[in-house]
Structure 1
Amino acid sequence: MRVEPFLAASEQDGTYPRPQLVRDRWAELGGAWEFEFDDADAGRERGWHAGQSLSRRIIVPFPPESEASGIGETGYHRVLWYRRTVTTSEIEATGHADGNTLLLHFGAVDYRADVWVNGLHVVHHEGGHTPFAATVPRPGKGFEIVVRVEDDPLDLGQPRGKQDWAEQRHVVWYDRTSGIWQPVWLESVPGVHITHLAWRPDIITAEVRLAIELSAHPVVGTNARVTLRLGSKLLAEQTLLVSESRTTVVVTVDALRNGQAHEDVLWSPERPTLIDATVELEVPGQERDTIASYFGFRQIGEGAGRFLLNERPYDIRGVLSQGYWPHSHLAAPGPGALRAEVELIRELGFTTVRVHQKIEDPRFLYWTDRLGLLVWEEMPSTYEFSATASARLLAEWTEVIRRDASHPSIAVWVPFNESWGVHHVAKDPAQQSLVRAMYHLTKSLDTSRLVVSNDGWEHTCSDLLTIHDYENDPVQLLASYGTGDAVRGCLDEIAPNGRRMLVGTDEERTRTAARPVVLSEFGGVSIEPSEEGAWGYQLVESHEHLEQHLVSLFAAVRGTETLAGWCYTQLTDTAQETNGLTDEHRVPKIPVERIRAILRGEDHLRVPVDQR
């Protein structure tokens, strides 16, 4: 597969696996691979890494628990093996030539991966939600890839999100997503090439800082050229001498200096303006490395009890998304499904999505950037507190922020949810220290966004005070959050689920209590289940009753004086959790126009409930 040279990155079609660092030479390696479960963990002893044929077939990048993979086995399988032969034509599709380096990329493999090429071990990676790559040694006219994956379903110190530790899914936990679940692909690059770009725009100084990382120390005479465009308009161009493998360039964008016109350049959900960038690395004696990228100028903040976007109050109208499909689990059915998901959320009237217990495919974030949707990104939890779990969380969360920090749509980082993995955080100083450390680590890596330390309750230090409350009596919900006094009473007492709202030091409690209040989970309404085990937080009898209940529920949260926003649970039915606004196939339970009118309070736009 190829992308046209110098294509504006903001106009790509959503198939490229790494949308903010685009090259025109690559080849996707999805499709049929050889596969084997290794329940006895005997594969290495038997020499499987050296290229022995495996007996089964799997469709990559779908996890073996899913129907889409062709395997569909949801039981316990701790060790998995994959094998594939890369052909001459696939290498040629990357434009590979002598003097260049051929890279083998994995978007995400859950949880621990070892990769061999022609029997030679080339990379080890731990972390089920972040990318990694390896150099292919001597690719020749073809080569063999073998991947061993270890994903222990009983290891509670593994960041796992909502993947069930029990053999059968139950309550709010779902069938597991093991092994390869994001794209595998080849890319040909010059010997010294760009490995990472990090954009840090600043609308106040009218500048963008670009951090560039190279694969090796550059030789004398190496230059980098950065060109910024808004559509066909040239915004800025700058060339610098590169003398280190990590360098930063500051580019001034004069279009932001006009205070009466600068909003034409700013990114928001209503006007998702993206700045296209070309970054060219010129190294003496080798071909030029040309990258297409993009970013957005926008500012995230909080003040006077409100969430701020580009220095102005912005009401959060959010929806919780599990990012889970019935036939492919955490892996999207295809690139088009990621765009369709963003389009659906926007069509329903939401401005924000809280991606729950999942690090989404970067191509999803491309569409939130391009189409305009704010994102809360949340680290998948462990289910125990231990030194091992802490080390894994810190390492993988660092990789997550490194991967995604340049996406303008991401507004809020969420390291913990509902004290999962730190279930004694109210009393245990060690667990408080971990939550505090994750908050400050996040701030050290990215100062441009808000951080919620522990979404829902038992906050230490947070930039937003988020509350989970599944009270479905609209009168009681309005009474709880309708006034400042009511909210302060909630903070001083026990949270809706029986936990404390604030923990930690007096200084942390005081600071967090003064932050904007967001009802970041509420609703969870399900129509009376027709299948055993299906459930929701509140049951109603029919589609008509669902509509009536949503009218009252959204009227209550809109009627508060104090909330900076809210996030409804949830977008889609997911496995046995049937409290979505749509079913598991993304079909709305009441008309899209009606849902949009309800959450916006536009009662004059009533749409009759159609025939079900």
Structure 2
Amino acid sequence: MKTTVCSIFAVVLFTFFNLSVKGQYKMQPVSIQTRWAVQVSPVNALKEYPRPQMVRSGWTNLNGLWDYAITAKDAAQPAVFDGKILVPYPLESALSGVKKALLPSQNLWYKRSFARPDIKSGEKVMLNFGAVDYQCWVYVNGTLLGEHEGGYTEFSFDITAALKAGNNEIVVKVFDPTGEGIGPHGKQVLKPENIYYTPSSGIWQTVWMEVVPEVSIAALVMTPDVDKGVLNLEVKGKGKPEIVVYDPVSKQEISRRFASLEMTNDGAKGTIKIPNAKLWSPGNPHLYDITVKLGDDEVKSYFGMRKISVDKDAAGVDRIFLNNRPYFNLGTLDQGFWPDGLYTAPTDEALAFDIRAIKAMGFNTIRKHIKVEPARWYYHADKIGMLVWQDMVNPNQGLPEGAKAAFEKGAKETMAQLHNYPSITTWVLFNEAWGQYDQERLTKWMKGNDPSRIVNGHSGELLYVNEKLRAARENPYVAADMTDVHAYPDPMNALKQPGKAQVLGEFGGIGVFIPDHQWLSGSAWGYIQEKPAALAAKYKIMNQHLQLLEKEGLSASIYTQPFDVEGEQNGLMTYDREVVKVPFAELREIHKGLNPEVAAPSWLAMTKLVSAKDADLTEPALVYAKAIEEYLKGKKDPAFLKKLVMMAGQTGDKAGTARFGAAYMNTLKEPYSAEDIAFMESITKKVTDKGFAILLKQAGTDRTAYVKAMNVIYADVIAGFVPKADSKPDWNAVEAAIKPYGLPGEEMFLRARTIHLYNQKDWAAYVPVASAYLEKFGSGISESDRQAFQAAIDQNRGKE
């Protein structure tokens, strides 16, 4: 009876605590969200052990509600914080509960308390971070433990000496200038002429603590050698390790070794024989378990026996080989963004879903584009069976002072952090000349640093759009294992060079608009546009051409892209992962010619947990026409009006977009939500549009609205004065025309005039205009632009 009462009390107490915590948190509104968002709460935020390649039994998850504050960059730690944030979701995401932008002039602060773990004499408490974007300083009980720079790599601090009995306090200060800084930032860029995707600032991967013995394992380095039938193993840590290798499928111990590895300055290394090794591949992703003990420390891990190479096939053609056989890498370009979590997947199930969905489509390869994922993403790729081409996160494209060092530091950390995952077969150094430099040196460094993988030194150095070459440099594939071309929309083959595989690093980009599943109501970008019913046929023809190119030497293709991302509607699934635009079974049938494994029962078994709705193939104009009939009969509720705007955009009805957009905006009330502002931004094209006046009003406090207002002013007002690159506009008339639009108009006027005079090399006129622009607005533009404009001023001063 006593036990029952205690149990009931415990349940009541837990329920009360759960409700109390939930009361402090509310997901912010977002235009669309994934099915997993509703599962997120402060008590279960990404609760899985975050480092599956080195698992210890004792750990404490520090995800959950933290205090947060945003201050000026030079301000001290705030005495009072702004509210609660759900870690590890980025500040700008809906799932964080905050959804605010962090400016380059600001710092973001986190704070939480925790109980001191029980530790024995000689034990250490390690505080671990999966990733914090971009630069952070970590304090425990007021003591600075250290700092870390780089938004994509993990780091740890020994916090033992700073701990006290009872409650302890962690404070994390974050500086994230995104594209305005020197560090790699991926596609998190926001500036007037170049908008990619919403930035993700601050803590965006799991934070956790673990207690480790004084003598402990710092790291494992595992490199399979299929030809020799061995695993090359390094155990970082002082002492002689005991190692057990186990096959979970046959349930047999493969090897047990103790103190038989060669001792080194920082640990031990050697080889472990894997007799009759079962090789890892997408069709059979076989993994071995490994347990390593060092003194009182024990970690569990896994590895796969896999070989990747470029060799000649029976016809003498250089191709990508997997496990000593030609293997066409049929891939897709995955950017890893989420409507509700941005850089952070809502749940671990969601993280795995993306890989399963891509496999259900019939792909065997993912190019992980300009992002490093959490460790568990690669674990799922290993378990599910998917080849991964891992991009390095591009350097700041303007290469300001310090950018090269930051890029090389990040690349080195990335390769070390991801070394053990068998799914990763290819490193991609540069993408489409984004910040490219010293390509030969860096490609050779990458190959020397990891001979177990192949290197794509430059993906898309040759870039074709509508069969027109946009970029080309001399010897673009020096030292690499492959030649790589990007071709939009239709596929083409890369250059043939001795000893290198030919690959198509990107192609496709077919835009298909699915109403009710849009991040932006009035935007549907793709390299080409198709209706849902036409997508399957167009995509099939592209893949038939791939089969022809494969016979001519093509070794890999990467389709853009598996999921829509924000304003891009060129995914095979919608951004919320709810609608697949071509049924999975049909996609597998299309892909069968290049990936025959998709027909195997084992392949289908690995995709059984994937579900999504098939796209409605009804002619969109017919659906839209019926909706207009309902409007004419009086149906004008806000949700219906918003849907009409989407349908108008899908069918290209500009008049309808303007009419129904204005009608919907009439239903909106101040204060406007972020979704309201986003809607206005998506359909506002002219200064006379209803949404423009609202954006102009919001521009004083909302940088996104400010940037959108600038873009509208340029497109609708200034561009008409400058129809050609060699135009000689009446700048006094331009200035008069933009006067009604305040600071956004003035900034866009000065920016447009500065760039125009810079391109024309009219230095006499340029110097005073550019000087005025930088003096008034220079703090808000990119570092690369600021440096270029200032350099031109310095070189030509005195000519005015």
TM-score by length of 2: 0.63
How many Å apart are 1:56 and its aligned residue? 1.8
1:102-251 matches, within 5 Å, as 102-136=125-159, 137=161, 138-166=163-191, 170=195, 173-214=196-237, 218=238, 222-231=239-248, 232-240=251-259, 244=264, 246-251=266-271
Task: Single out whichever of 199-208 and 246-255 deviates more from structure 2.
Answer: 246-255
In structure 1, runs of 5+ residues without a counterpart are 1-12, 257-261, 283-287, 423-430, 482-486, 492-511
1:267 maps onto 2:267 in alignment = no
**Separation in 1, partners of 2:304, 2:47:** 17
Question: Retained in 1: the 8 A contact 2:582–2:614?
Answer: no
Question: Retained in 2: the 8 A contact 1:269–1:351?
Answer: yes
What is the match of residue 84 of structure 1? 112
Match of 1:524 among 486, 504, 509: 509
What is the match of residue 365 of structure 2? 352
What is the match of residue 721 of structure 2? none
Question: Retained in 2: the 8 A contact 1:177–1:329?
Answer: yes
- Note the aligned Cα RMSD (angstroms): 2.4
1:341-420 matches, within 5 Å, as 341-382=354-395, 383-420=397-434
What is the match of residue 524 of structure 2? 534
1:568 maps onto 2:559 in alignment = yes
Q: Deviation per CA, 1:389-433, whole angstroms, max 9, x where unpaired?
A: 1101111111111110110000000121111012xxxxxxxx3xx
**How has the CA–CA distance of structure 1 residues 315 and 139 changed in structure 2, closer, same or farther, with 3 Å as cutoff?**
farther
Match of 1:585 among 576, 592, 609: 576
Match of 2:75 among 43, 46, 49: 43
Question: Retained in 1: the 8 A contact 2:388–2:423?
Answer: yes
How many Å apart are 1:249 and its aligned residue? 2.5
How many Å apart are 1:459 and its aligned residue? 2.8
What is the match of residue 442 of structure 2? 438
How many Å apart are 1:156 and its aligned residue? 4.9
**How has the CA–CA distance of structure 1 residues 178 and 168 changed in structure 2, closer, same or farther, with 3 Å as cutoff?**
farther
What is the match of residue 65 of structure 2? 32
1:491-570 matches, within 5 Å, as 514-527=499-512, 531-540=521-530, 542-560=531-549, 561=551, 562-570=553-561
Higher relative contact order structure (alpha carbons within 8 Å, sequence separation ≥ 6) = 1
What is the match of residue 595 of structure 1? 587
**Separation in 1, partners of 2:274, 2:513:** 58
What is the match of residue 55 of structure 2? 22
How many Å apart are 1:384 and its aligned residue? 1.8
What is the match of residue 309 of structure 1? 322
**Separation in 2, partners of 1:190, 1:333:** 33
**How has the CA–CA distance of structure 1 residues 67 and 169 changed in structure 2, closer, same or farther, with 3 Å as cutoff?**
farther
What is the match of residue 494 of structure 1? none
**Separation in 2, partners of 1:289, 1:349:** 42
Question: Retained in 2: the 8 A contact 1:316–1:352?
Answer: yes
**Separation in 2, partners of 1:14, 1:82:** 19
How many Å apart are 1:552 and its aligned residue? 1.0
Higher helix share: 2
- Where 1:73 maps in the other structure, the secondary structure is coil
TM-score by length of 1: 0.81
Question: Retained in 1: the 8 A contact 2:134–2:149?
Answer: yes
How many Å apart are 1:64 and its aligned residue? 0.7
- Where 2:430 maps in the other structure, the secondary structure is coil
Task: Single out whichever of 384-393 and 582-591 deviates more from structure 2.
Answer: 384-393
**Separation in 2, partners of 1:192, 1:254:** 28
Q: Deviation per CA, 1:116-135, whole angstroms, max 9, x where unpaired?
A: 00000001111100000111
* Equivalent residue letter for 2:158: T
1:461-472 matches, within 5 Å, as 461-472=479-490
**Separation in 1, partners of 2:274, 2:479:** 37
**Separation in 1, partners of 2:282, 2:191:** 39
Q: Deviation per CA, 1:240-261, whole angstroms, max 9, x where unpaired?
A: 17865523332332513xxxxx
**How has the CA–CA distance of structure 1 residues 168 and 43 changed in structure 2, closer, same or farther, with 3 Å as cutoff?**
farther
How many Å apart are 1:319 and its aligned residue? 0.7
**Separation in 2, partners of 1:14, 1:142:** 22
What is the match of residue 454 of structure 2? 450
What is the match of residue 296 of structure 1? 304
In structure 2, runs of 5+ residues without a counterpart are 1-45, 313-317, 462-475, 516-520, 600-612, 619-800
**Separation in 2, partners of 1:308, 1:346:** 20
- Where 1:553 maps in the other structure, the secondary structure is helix
- Where 1:405 maps in the other structure, the secondary structure is coil
Q: Which structure: larger Rg?
A: 2
How many Å apart are 1:557 and its aligned residue? 0.9
Question: Retained in 2: the 8 A contact 1:123–1:133?
Answer: no
Question: Retained in 2: the 8 A contact 1:156–1:384?
Answer: no
Q: Deviation per CA, 1:255-279, whole angstroms, max 9, x where unpaired?
A: 13xxxxx4xx111111111111000
* Equivalent residue letter for 1:462: A
**Separation in 2, partners of 1:299, 1:336:** 29
Question: Retained in 2: the 8 A contact 1:352–1:375?
Answer: yes
* Equivalent residue letter for 2:286: T
Regions of 4+ moved over 4 Å: 241-245, 607-612
**Separation in 2, partners of 1:595, 1:350:** 9
- Where 2:376 maps in the other structure, the secondary structure is helix
How many Å apart are 1:513 and its aligned residue? 5.5
**Separation in 2, partners of 1:28, 1:75:** 26
Percent identity over the alignment? Answer: 32
Question: Retained in 1: the 8 A contact 2:184–2:394?
Answer: yes
**Separation in 2, partners of 1:157, 1:394:** 12
* Equivalent residue letter for 2:350: A
**How has the CA–CA distance of structure 1 residues 252 and 244 changed in structure 2, closer, same or farther, with 3 Å as cutoff?**
closer
